[in-house]
């Protein structure tokens, strides 16, 4: 999660994203200003490129409003990609769009989650090279976790994530934590699973608590570009100050439309393909 980010896949916001507010099932906060969202996404891509990340564009016209959040439909492992199956019905099919891109770009597909299993990328992260953390949530069920466990070589630790605001505002595991260095994470302690807290302590991970008033502005959603270098959404000054006090180099981008409106921060907007 924190090794040097070499290659990343993104999807710019298109017409489907622009009309997302019209369908309440997507859960967007207000009508999307597509022009602003597009400019914000360009800003994020330019920032990543300035940090020496190779940015690849999915450029799909598939009718999925949430496709811009490319982290969720797939997991990329050492051996290749695992296609996930979202527990959010409106996102089912995104994994096939990524599968086509992976095949065109010679990234092997090592497996996929099949119904009745469900799994969202937002519920999955590596704590270390050999420990995969998975949240059992309203989007990722036990059947999906069992299939995922059979497809990876890492130890899989499963944590129950709170019901919180329910299906319409599903709480992902990564809504509560972002790794910044091997020994540092930003967290929402009030919603962090107790078992994950214990595992972090066991591995000597220092935790930075996000200010309560920066939860809704996606303060916990931080993208590590390399150890101690992170991308943060503008509007989270407390989180930024705490990270800098811990020695982290912080780079901000504007994302009120492309990120906050759809509740997906810099991690959600990027599918890492290779870290080294």
List, for residues 96-123, the tens digit of each pLDDT value: 999 999 999 999 999 999 999 999 999 9
What is the C-alpha separation between 163 and 10, in angstroms, rounded? 29
- pLDDT of the residue at 137: 97
- pLDDT of the residue at 156: 98
- pLDDT of the residue at 165: 87
- pLDDT of the residue at 261: 97
The residue ranges of every structural domain in the chain are 5-275
Torsion sign over Cα 13, 14, 15, 17: negative
CB 2 within 8 A of CB 181: yes
For the chain, which ranges sit under pLDDT 50? none
- pLDDT of the residue at 73: 98
For residue 103, the surrounding DSSP H or E stretch is: helix 94-104
Architecture of domain 5-275: 5-stranded Propeller (3.75)
What is the C-alpha separation between 2 and 225, in angstroms, rounded? 7
pLDDT tens-place string over residues 206-216? 999 999 999 99
User: Which residue, 57, 61, 32, is CA-closest to 46?
Assistant: 57
Tokens of 169: 């505002």
150's CB contacts (< 8 A; 6+ apart) are none
Compute φ and ψ for 212, nearest 5 degrees.
-55, -40
Compute φ and ψ for 231, nearest 5 degrees.
-105, 130
For residue 17, the surrounding DSSP H or E stretch is: helix 15-18
What is the C-alpha separation between 172 and 107, in angstroms, rounded? 26
């Amino acid at each position: 999660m924190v090794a040097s980010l070499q290659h990343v896949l993104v999807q710019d916001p298109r017409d489907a994203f622009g009309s997302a507010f019209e369908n309440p099932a997507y859960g967007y906060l207000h009508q999307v200003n597509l022009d602003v969202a597009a400019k914000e996404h360009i800003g994020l891509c330019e920032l990543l490129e300035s940090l020496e990340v190779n940015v690849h564009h999915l450029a799909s016209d598939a009718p999925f409003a949430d496709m811009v959040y490319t982290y969720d439909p797939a997991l990329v492992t050492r051996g290749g990609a695992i296609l996930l199956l979202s527990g959010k019905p409106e996102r089912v099919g995104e994994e096939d769009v990524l599968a086509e891109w992976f095949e065109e770009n010679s990234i092997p597909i090592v497996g996929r989650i099949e119904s009745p299993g469900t799994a969202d990328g937002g519920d999955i992260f590596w704590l270390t090279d050999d420990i995969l953390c998975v949240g059992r949530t309203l989007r990722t069920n036990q059947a999906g976790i069992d299939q995922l466990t059979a497809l990876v070589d890492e130890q899989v630790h499963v944590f129950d994530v709170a019901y919180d605001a329910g299906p319409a505002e599903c709480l992902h595991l990564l809504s509560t934590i972002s790794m910044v260095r091997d020994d540092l994470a930003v967290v929402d302690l009030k919603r962090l699973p107790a078992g994950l807290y214990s595992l972090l302590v066991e591995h000597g991970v220092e935790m930075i608590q996000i200010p309560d008033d920066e939860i809704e502005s996606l303060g916990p959603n931080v993208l590590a570009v390399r150890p101690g270098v992170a991308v943060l959404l503008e509007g989270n000054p407390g989180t930024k100050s705490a990270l800098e006090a811990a020695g982290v180099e912080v780079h901000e981008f504007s994302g009120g439309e492309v990120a906050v409106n759809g509740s997906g921060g810099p991690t959600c907007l990027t599918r890492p393909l290779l870290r080294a």
